[in-house]
Chains A and B, each alone.
Chain A
Amino acid sequence: MNPQKTLLKVEDLRLYYPVPGKKIGQLEYIKAVDDVSFEVKEGEVFGIVGESGCGKSTLGRAICKLNPPTSGKIVLDGEDISDYGSRQMRAVRKKVQMVFQDPYASLNPRMSVFEIIAEPLKIHHLTTSKEQMKEKVLDLLRKVGLDDYHANRYPHEFSGGQRQRIGIARALAVQPKLIIADEPVSALDVSIQAQVLNLLNKLKRELNLTYIFIAHDLSVVEHISDRIGVMYLGNFVEVGSKEELYQNPLHPYTQALLSAVPVPDPTAKKERIILEGNIPSALNPPTGCRFHTRCPKCMPCCKTEAPACHHVDGTHAVYCHLYDEKNKA
């Protein structure tokens, strides 16, 4: 494995959802993802964290084009897929698969587990005979910790954690290189959540997978990721290795987010930064730095100018005026 190889490169990606505007026939745009660039190396776990409405799920869906991006460039495994139509995307989906948040809604209730897992194998013509297909499906089931007899059951017969395992087996069926997991454990109880996180880690090691792991829970993202990007209102505000980001958060939003996480230790006394107000609407995001309306360290320039990217060191980047040369002194 070459750890330096870039598996996914996203440049200036935008995804706007059109919504009816104030006047009849007029359209306005929800800027769900606005000018996002990042890279994911082979074999790493890239975590995307942010609050609801920050565009993290849209970003995940835009990468595998479940929601077609408005503009921008996506290069997957050396192949520029930016202009691919849905037909061409089929071949690409052998390389990138998704695991969805809601294990109740993402499995077809009328299909047996066997049919659910066999479907991608059929679509991509990955098996030559029925026996081979059966063997592959059962093998996938065992990989995710389910038994052979589960194959003939239907999704409603399973618990949330087991369903998420089925969703993972389905994603693994085409032997993808990249798995985009969109809040895969947030619907599960804590004891089950740990089981699924352990499973994802095990599969990553065994099958040399790369994950983009999208979640709102900072402790979960820290646990599983190598590098993490913090999103706010359609954009990254800070990207860094997990060690850097959690021990030395630079952006005021990252700092507030980390301080807001409840710690399961009653003796821990900590300074909590309580942010005022709510996330502004993505229909009409604030000018300048998008966080300036809630930022405890807002300066006049934050209201007018969008902050540039400051590279603190090789892996840690922050988008904030506090780290402009002129403000450092």
Chain B
Amino acid sequence: MESRKNILEVKNLHTYFHTSSGIVRSVDGVDFTLQEGKTLGIVGESGSGKSVTALSIMGLLDDTTGRIEEGEILLDGRDIVPLSKEEKRQIRGNKISMIFQEPMTSLNPVMKIGQQLTECILQHQKVSKDEAWRIAEEMLRKTGVPRVERMMKEYPFQLSGGQRQRVMIAMALVCRPRILIADEPTTALDVTIQAQILDLMNNLKRDIGTSTLFITHDLGVVAEVCDEVVVMYCGRVVEKADVYELFAHPTHPYTKGLLHSIPKLGERVDELEAIPGNVPNPKYMPAGCKFAPRCAYATEKCHQAEPAFTDLGNGHTCRCWLCEKGGMA
């Protein structure tokens, strides 16, 4: 296997929110590595901490109740957690940028598209306004929107959902960042538009060579765009593998449950294998394995102590007592 450079390493990340009713441990010990030119998928349900992980990497939690309590985020080997606001600003949009879930709410409604696109270029590059405008137009054209010149002078409300998401992508890529974090970029879109956007992201990845962190809850999307996958549950990584391995040999009961609970095209079943129960309230986390209350295989041990990662070979790791014993087929 070719060895690639690790462009982003997240080590033992803990991000807590200090609310009036106590500490919410949204991200509680997350580790993963993004290799250059690859796409890493983070999968999980709402409340699993996947978006908070992204915000921690972006350094966007500074003015909230959230704080990175522990851990390192290494960008090209340099820890970016202790950096000052101004230094983070230099990285944001320039080296790491982000596409948000809601294209409707994440664009500024009172700024023209052209202004929003050039803002980032003028912030990070020493170019004239005309030059910035030209770069922005070129990037917007790459995303495949029609009538680029006119759109640069329009406001977000004049565009459709798919077009807004393309503007978001253009904005994120306009400074040719090394890392792109896409937080549910297609969740708000229709399937035919989703297909367009995924296709576009794949093409741009090839052109620009950006490494991508792809956050989603849709396992179908993961299978199509990701090289490696991290499955998160309750602020923890429960399973990590490359995408072929994960879909061929899902090991953690939660990963299995997720895969079984989605109806698949062309498959006839009377009943779906749903995961019973709900995601626990972050204020009242179970003591042992966080998935134990919903797990069909849980034993006494699972309720008492949290399992560590077991290496299953080929970069496949799983956090479950069942693998530890080697007792899982």
Contacts and interface: CB of A to CB of B under 8 A. Distances in A.
Interface of A: 51-52, 159, 161-162, 189-195, 197-198, 201, 216, 218-220, 222-223, 246-247, 256-268, 272, 274-275, 277-278
Contact of B160 (A256, A267, A278): A278
A194 B266 contact: no
A171 B163 CA distance: 38
A127 to B, nearest CB: 32
A246 B265 CA distance: 8
A248 to B, nearest CB: 12
B223 A260 contact: no
Nearest to B274: A194
B265 A201 contact: no
B155 to A, nearest CB: 17
17 contacts: A162-B278, A189-B217, A190-B217, A191-B274, A192-B274, A201-B270, A201-B271, A222-B265, A260-B194, A260-B195, A261-B191, A261-B220, A262-B220, A264-B223, A264-B247, A266-B247, A275-B195
Nearest to B257: A191
Given A191-B45, A191-B275, 12 more contacts: A52-B161, A159-B278, A189-B46, A190-B219, A190-B262, A194-B274, A195-B275, A198-B274, A219-B265, A256-B192, A262-B218, A264-B259
A261 B265 contact: yes
A263 B264 contact: yes
Contacts of B257: 191
Interface of B: 45-46, 146, 160-163, 190-196, 198-199, 217-224, 243-244, 247-248, 257-259, 261-266, 269-276, 278-279
A274 B274 CA distance: 32
B192 A257 contact: yes
A218 B263 CA distance: 9
Given A159-B278, A264-B222, A264-B223, A219 B263 contact: yes
B194 A190 contact: no
Contacts of B278: 159, 161-162, 192
A262 B221 contact: yes
The 5 tightest CB contacts between A and B, nearest first, are: A262-B220, A223-B263, A194-B274, A194-B261, A260-B195
Contacts, number: 123
Given A52-B190, A197-B272, A246 B220 contact: no
Contacts of A198: 271-272, 274
Contacts of A190: 45, 217, 219, 258, 261-262
B173 to A, nearest CB: 20
Nearest to A281: B160
A117 B323 CA distance: 46
Given A275-B192, A278-B163, A264 B264 contact: yes
A262 B223 contact: yes
Contact of A268 (B196, B219, B223, B270): B223
A50 to B, nearest CB: 9
A189 B219 CA distance: 12
A266 B248 CA distance: 9
B244 A262 contact: no
Contacts of A51: 190-193
B245 to A, nearest CB: 9
A263 B224 contact: yes
A162 B265 CA distance: 27
A192 B274 CA distance: 7
Nearest to A216: B190
A325 B194 CA distance: 35
Contacts of A265: 223, 247
B274 A195 contact: yes
Nearest to A278: B160
A262 B224 contact: yes
Interface centre among A52, A193, A246, A260, by most B CB within 10 Å?
A260
